[in-house]
Amino acid sequence: MIIGVTLLAGEIYVLRWKGQGEIEVYDIVTYSLQRQLSVPDAQRLTDMTSCEYYRCVYISDYIVESVHKLDAHGVATRWKVNDQPWSLSVNAAHNVLVTCPRVRKVKELNSRGDIVREVQLPIDVINPSHAVQLTNGQLIVCHGRDDAAVRRVCVITEDGGEIVHSHGGQPGSDIGQRHVPRRLAVDNNGFVFVADIGNRRVALLSPTLDYVRDVVSSDQLKGQPRRLSLDIQRRRLYVADIEYVNGEFTAGRIVVFSI
């Protein structure tokens, strides 16, 4: 199973779970395997992101309520989050945003692993899956798992107090609906890519969360699009395509799309 995909220093990092956390590092041009890294003392890893400024990757660990930090050589440290982290992103201040669904919070950690703030999300944002901070400070959050009555993507004020825009509502497959929105990516113009694992597609939304088009359709995937990474410079979208059969993850690959 692929748990995360991200880009760092001209290479593609792919996080797999094989009884322990293992990161495969590929050349961004040839897609050839360069080396492998391991995540020490991993328990249940759930996501990965990267920071070009600090030249490192971050991996969330649900069981030990921590974030692992690995530099490009695989040297690791671990930061406590004190809640169960589900997903990660890095903001313009080079800090890590940790989405903690059970408490409906986004926690911001600085480069030393200190929690510098906690954002309590609105009461109707239930089971948030992923949060990304825009340059204006607002947050884009997707929420709603496969048992939820409401499944949306929302733009939320910086303090978490108010929903500014939203897309979705009741689950469905129409262009204005999401089934299980699981991961997000945002480009320099504020357009939002949404990985919808229930509908097996990736949708593009405007900065105000109006539907634009599907950039990845179900017939381009073998399974579900569970992770995303956007290469803004090369205009490429990396999608973790995970096959899920009879309640088990059976295979995973990275599919690269021009956008």
Pairing relation of β-strands 76-80 and 139-143?
unpaired
Q: Does domain 1-120 correspond to CATH entry 2.160.10.10?
A: no
Give the torsion sign (CA, 81, 87, 93, 95).
positive
Look at the domain 123-259 and name its fold.
Neuraminidase (2.120.10)
pLDDT at 151: 93
Q: Is the pLDDT of residue 132 over 90?
A: yes
Pairing relation of β-strands 105-109 and 96-100?
antiparallel
**Residue ranges per structural domain of the chain:** 1-120, 123-259
Quick one: what percent of the chain has pLDDT higher than 90? 83
* Single-letter amino acid code for the residue at 256: V
pLDDT at 79: 96
Residue 130 phi, psi dihedral angles, 5° rounding: -160, 145
Give the torsion sign (CA, 254, 256, 257, 259).
positive
Q: Comparing 1-120 with 123-259, is the CATH topology the same?
A: yes
Give the three-state DSSP class for 62: coil
Can you tell me the distance from the alpha carbon of 183 to that of 180, in angstroms, rounded to the nearest whole number? 9
Q: Residue 19 — pLDDT band, cuts 50, 70, 90?
A: low
CA distances from 110 to 61, 67, 79, 244 (A): 17, 12, 10, 35
Per residue in 213-243, pLDDT (tens digit) is: 999 999 999 999 999 999 999 999 999 999 9
Can you tell me the distance from the alpha carbon of 129 to that of 91, in angstroms, rounded to the nearest whole number? 17
pTM: 0.95
Average pLDDT over all residues of the chain: 94
Per residue in 160-170, pLDDT (tens digit) is: 999 999 999 88
Q: Residue 91 — pLDDT band, cuts 50, 70, 90?
A: very high
